[in-house]
Structure 1
Amino acid sequence: MADAILIATQAGRALAEAARRAGLRPYVADLFGDSDTLAAAEAYRPLPGPFGTAPGAAATLAALADLAAAAGRPIGVVLGSGFEDAPGLVADLARRHRLLGATAETIASLKDPAAFAALCARLDVPHPPVSRDPPDDPSRWLIKRIGGSGGSHIRAAKESAPPPGHYLQARVPGRAHALNFLADGRTIRILAVTEQWCAPTPIRPYRYAGALVRSAAEPPSLSLGLVAAIAEAAARIVAATGLMGLASADVLVDGADWWLMEINPRPGATLDILDRRAVPLLEAHIAACLGAMPDCGPNPVGAAAAQICYADRELAPVPDHDWPDCVRDRPRPGSVVRRDAPLCTVLAEGADRAEALDLLESRTARLRAALAAQKTQPEEAP
């Protein structure tokens, strides 16, 4: 029988499917319980959020204990998003299960804004200044939530000091990219450079939308020199913090200049578009966490893209929709999706960047039209 693995995260579908590709049996705890998450999971437990609160932490510990008992002898636990501001919980989990990923100490050193800024300064890595003081010129600063992910927490700064649990980061120019890599606590292996974009709203101008990886045959999005510099910086941070497993370095690039915005010490939102190699990425993640840096094989030939489709209206309840094969994170019929909340994820592949993006946009448009048509159809008489 295949080995069992525990997964805890905000949305567990991508990790559950990655576990299946790696020949593992996933036991999943997350916030949403989407239809395809339940289909991929051997067993499932719902979680409340956020994980860093006392109720969330207690529920997470209980859910994983329950799943571990159901699994028998799981090989360990993989954590996704949602634990960036909860190193204490991560430490508690590590005392109960084998942790396959970043340690609590690593997460604390990477996600504490002041500590990370000091680390970047010590390692000579370009990083925007951070502050907790009232800004002299608010237009030069952004306010961010400590441990936040997905971009929805980022706002323009105000004249006052940031509230508890937040900090200021200086604005810098550039286009968003991510260096996706595998780490073994000492060095890294580059997987891909991905391009990223936002789906802004008036109150969430930096809300994450999607990512794309170019084909092996087309010009790269960043020069070899820039990639080498970013990779060298990431490797220095890995060596200093002991980071292990799948991770990414988010950067803003402006011509020859670049700034490291943050390190995501976990499998991220690009898992769908990157897990197309001969060696399954979760298999590689586990090997790296156990100290053996694997060879993942050559880059996939074609381009791939993934985009979050946000709800343009409240769906209460979600209809029993016939989701196309290109859609992931499918909400369960009867569940509730609020306006502007993530509805699902749309995937596309193509020969190159342009073809993948065109297909992604057309698929997203068709999905929205189909959902709108389903909503406007009259209900059948009883």
Structure 2
Amino acid sequence: MTRPGGAILIAAQSGRALAAAARRAGLRPFVADLFGDADTRALAAGYRQVPGRFGAGPGGRAVLAALDALAAEAGPSLGVVLGSGFEGSPALMRAIAARHRLIGAAPDTVAALKDPPGLAALCTRLAIPHPPLSLDPVPDPENWLLKRRGASGGGHIRPAGPGPVPRGASLQRRMPGRAQSLNFLADGRRILVLADTAQWSAPAPGRPFRYAGAVDPGGMPEGVRAAATAAVAALAEATGLRGLASADLLVDGSDWWFLEINPRPGATLDVLDRRAEPLLLRHIDAAGGRLGPTLALPPDAAATEICYAAEAIAPVPPLAWPDFVMDRPLAGSRIPAGGPICTVRAAGPDAEAARTGVRARTGAVRALFTARETVP
């Protein structure tokens, strides 16, 4: 079993949640991310901000350079944990793995899970219900969604239109239901379910499915949870998935459809890491092939929500942020219209109370900026 005390490298679009999970696990996080938020920097034992986007070209080289510098600063480390931003770049993952020990899903596993035609074929072979997929134009595009390969966060999903399907995208048939996820650990052969969560969107012009927040527990029907657990276990075994991951579903009563697997610690990490045992230690163990015992459920519910900027904020003023605010932008930084300001969290005796609390707190954060704008 992994013991606390060591250094760990982290690379993600936003590394704050992983850095917080590392500190809770007694580890020293050395973080590379895109945002450089104030609390990320405070949590990190070492930090590098990466310009631009992850992927091939300059963005990929910047990630490699940042991780190399952090590794030199950290000395011996457990390895590197990758968060969001790498699903569409298995080549970059392979380049990282050639220099550092990867803790989590292997590049080939991620490539298999993020290949829509291949994943759909695997689901068909394993008899897993999933929406029909097409790489070609369809006669009824109003009944389909356009999704970009390897993307995350829901902001890339659009209503389909007529004409050819863009390169690097696919069409997925619209299905009814509520967005839910099964969150689990995998050791390459088996899975251990941690929780089911429910998600909701914050629609914006041109981005009707932009991710907003999540709540644990999600209230997934027991029959659906059992069937989805069996399906996800089969997918994890077929692809050799390891580490902390989540499977996105659409749930409509007793009917459900599998959408995708996020083969990494994701946006629900803040609501999941409330068990007595730090979750990042279990992620490291599962990545090494040690699944471990069942984790006890927390006694309460928790929710997080991203607070998006209705208008551009330039610059961010100095603020006394409430304790419930995470991903705090640096004073003087700039946030574009529609960009994330911060993440807000709340807890309660049940899921409804947690969601009510997090929405009220998101409103309170927006009021911080509205109040400053209206001061004469």
Query: For the superposition of Structure 1 and Structure 2, which TM-score range results when normalised by the shorter chain?
Result: over 0.9
Deviations 1:48-90 (A, max 9, x none): 3432221111111111001000000111000000000000111
Which residue number corresponds to residue 70 of structure 1? 73
Matched letter for residue 113 of structure 2: L
Which residue number corresponds to residue 223 of structure 2? 225
**d(CA) in 2 for partners of 1:250, 1:316:** 35
Which residue number corresponds to residue 259 of structure 1? 257
Mapped contact 1:5–1:25 kept (Cα < 8 A): yes
Matched letter for residue 350 of structure 1: G
SS state of the match for residue 78, structure 2?
A: coil
Structure 2: gaps spanning 5 or more residues: none
Q: Does residue 1:123 correspond to 2:121, yes or no?
A: no
TM-score (structure 2 length as normaliser) = 0.97
Which residue number corresponds to residue 273 of structure 1? 271
Which residue number corresponds to residue 217 of structure 1? none
Matched letter for residue 122 of structure 2: L
Identity %: 57
Instruction: Give the alignment partner of residue 156 of structure 1, picking from 151, 156, 159.
Output: 159
Task: Tell me the CA shift for residue 296 of structure 1.
Answer: 5.2
Instruction: Give the alignment partner of residue 45 of structure 1, picking from 48, 53, 56.
Output: 48
Q: How many residues align?
A: 373
SS state of the match for residue 295, structure 1?
A: coil
**d(CA) in 2 for partners of 1:138, 1:156:** 8
**d(CA) in 1 for partners of 2:52, 2:133:** 27
Matched letter for residue 32 of structure 1: F
Task: Tell me the CA shift for residue 291 of structure 1.
Answer: 1.1
Kindly tell me: are residues 235 and 262 of structure 1, through their superposed partners in 2, closer, same or farther at Cα, counting changes over 3 Å? same
Deviations 1:319-376 (A, max 9, x none): 1111100000000111110111111000000011222122112111111112211233
Matched letter for residue 148 of structure 1: A
Matched letter for residue 162 of structure 2: E
Task: Tell me the CA shift for residue 110 of structure 1.
Answer: 0.2
**d(CA) in 2 for partners of 1:200, 1:297:** 35
Correspondence 1:14-33 to 2 at 5 A: 14-33=17-36
**d(CA) in 1 for partners of 2:60, 2:295:** 38
Task: Tell me the CA shift for residue 201 of structure 1.
Answer: 1.8
**d(CA) in 1 for partners of 2:171, 2:164:** 8
Q: Does residue 1:284 correspond to 2:287, yes or no?
A: no
SS state of the match for residue 17, structure 1?
A: helix
Which residue number corresponds to residue 140 of structure 1? 143
Instruction: Give the alignment partner of residue 368 of structure 1, picking from 362, 366, 369.
Output: 366
Mapped contact 2:109–2:240 kept (Cα < 8 A): yes
Mapped contact 2:34–2:53 kept (Cα < 8 A): no
Return 141-150 or 289-298, whichever deviates more.
Answer: 289-298
Which residue number corresponds to residue 195 of structure 2? 192
RMSD: 1.2
Which residue number corresponds to residue 35 of structure 1? 38
Which residue number corresponds to residue 100 of structure 1? 103
SS state of the match for residue 151, structure 1?
A: coil
TM-score (structure 1 length as normaliser) = 0.96
Mapped contact 1:278–1:296 kept (Cα < 8 A): no
